[in-house]
Structure 1
């Protein structure tokens, strides 16, 4: 760094401690022009400084976003972890709760499905909560309505059986197809299908969408742990690490 550049930097730093009008008066127009030229020359000679500044900014923004998510989770903890309608599995008395916002037509939800199953079963001490969050079109909504109606009509075990089946299902959702899916799980289709458009089912979906809006969630899967929100697919090893870190907090 040249002597001139160093002196200009010191003058600039001093000026920044003054009011805007005083700062403008601190340096003459010629000094400001020299300062700009020195800065430009330095950056052309050391372009890595720009990269360092960008990386520093991105890191700061990421930290701010992570903290904002922590605050959102804390502010909405009751609805996230202990609502009155979501399916709860894993270990109901586990020492930590993992929540997933999911959509049956989401490719990354399907990709994460078996890994999340392995995580919950392999750990043995995770309370796992599923939130129906259909955002990928009418078939997503229909699939969620079918799942929620099954839970209301036939119970939690039936819901989980259907959930698992729907995560692998590739077809459509007309009445014939849904009847076949339910019958294949030894469930009586008629009362479940009759309940799909009920106010109870509509209310569950509406509550989950309202909560997602509060949490600024607009994609699936989204996973939530105490003090952590994971927006997107995370491989099994990463999820295991995040669970371990959440336990240490």
Structure 2
């Protein structure tokens, strides 16, 4: 005896049941075809049901991503926030820490630069850490090496000056341009260039690459804000909201 197809008004309740509650395998080919048409007709007549399902799936996926990110941050917290090779700006005793993985040739890093500075200036309670993550070619690596070497040779204040200059630099990055930059900032360019080629600087970059890989980073800028990941550029107001959420 042929089963009667459920009326369309009951279809949404049926679809909400566990997969095992609907045995498609026991249906005949004709019944499955009728059922498929009923599902399609129902969704065409009630597209909001499909949008609700998509929104619910996105919510669950985003929640899972956030949970995974929190676990990654907790696992790598020491290297993210307590690495002596990384420069610390903002308020070293701030209640929220922002870690930026950046590349001096990254256009969106340069776009984020004034936004971050404005955030640090307006807040005053943010600890800011820079991780050189040069992924855009040899010039990016050259700039990162120079910045790291500056910190090792001349200290944090000199690093900050070089970092700021490189973030606002619009020309090509070369040995000559970096030497000119050092001269402009009254730094020992020869000593910095020599240190830039050292194993100590290479070790820092390799450690940042390894950390970024563990964190699942594929581009710059990428931020760790408290226990939340932000992959990509965000304007100051969006970052302010994340910082506020971190404070509860």
TM-score (normalizing by structure 1): 0.89
Q: How big is the shift at 1:28?
A: 4.2
Change in Cα spacing, 1:10 to 1:110, as seen in structure 2 (3 Å) is closer
1:42 maps to 2:36: no
Please name the residue that 2:185 is paired with.
Answer: 185
Q: How big is the shift at 1:5?
A: 3.2
Distance across 2 between alignment mates of 1:38 and 1:169:
62
Distance across 2 between alignment mates of 1:242 and 1:191:
40
Q: How big is the shift at 1:73?
A: 0.9
Matches for 1:218-233 after TM superposition, within 5 Å: 218-233=218-233
Please name the residue that 1:155 is paired with.
Answer: 155
Task: List runs of 5+ in structure 1 lacking aligned partners.
Answer: none
Q: Secondary structure at the match of 1:220?
A: coil
> CA deviation digits over 1:199-246, x for unaligned, max 9?
000000000000000000111111112210001111111111111111
Structure 1 runs (4+) greater than 4 angstroms displaced = 6-15
Distance across 2 between alignment mates of 1:87 and 1:7:
61
Please name the residue that 1:164 is paired with.
Answer: 164
Matches for 1:104-123 after TM superposition, within 5 Å: 104-123=104-123
Change in Cα spacing, 1:196 to 1:10, as seen in structure 2 (3 Å) is closer
Contact 1:16 1:23 in 2 (8 A): no
Q: How many residues align?
A: 244
Contact 1:225 1:243 in 2 (8 A): yes
Q: How big is the shift at 1:159?
A: 0.2
Q: Secondary structure at the match of 1:237?
A: helix
Contact 2:142 2:174 in 1 (8 A): no
Q: How big is the shift at 1:56?
A: 2.5
Matches for 1:1-249 after TM superposition, within 5 Å: 4-5=7-8, 16-17=19-20, 24-25=25-26, 27-248=27-248
Distance across 1 between alignment mates of 2:18 and 2:29:
14
Distance across 2 between alignment mates of 1:69 and 1:34:
44
Change in Cα spacing, 1:157 to 1:54, as seen in structure 2 (3 Å) is same
Distance across 2 between alignment mates of 1:176 and 1:17:
69
Q: How big is the shift at 1:65?
A: 1.6
Contact 1:183 1:189 in 2 (8 A): yes
User: Which segment drifts farther, 5-14 or 74-83?
Assistant: 5-14
TM-score (normalizing by structure 2): 0.90
Contact 1:100 1:223 in 2 (8 A): yes
Contact 2:99 2:129 in 1 (8 A): yes
Contact 2:147 2:163 in 1 (8 A): yes
Q: Secondary structure at the match of 1:17?
A: helix
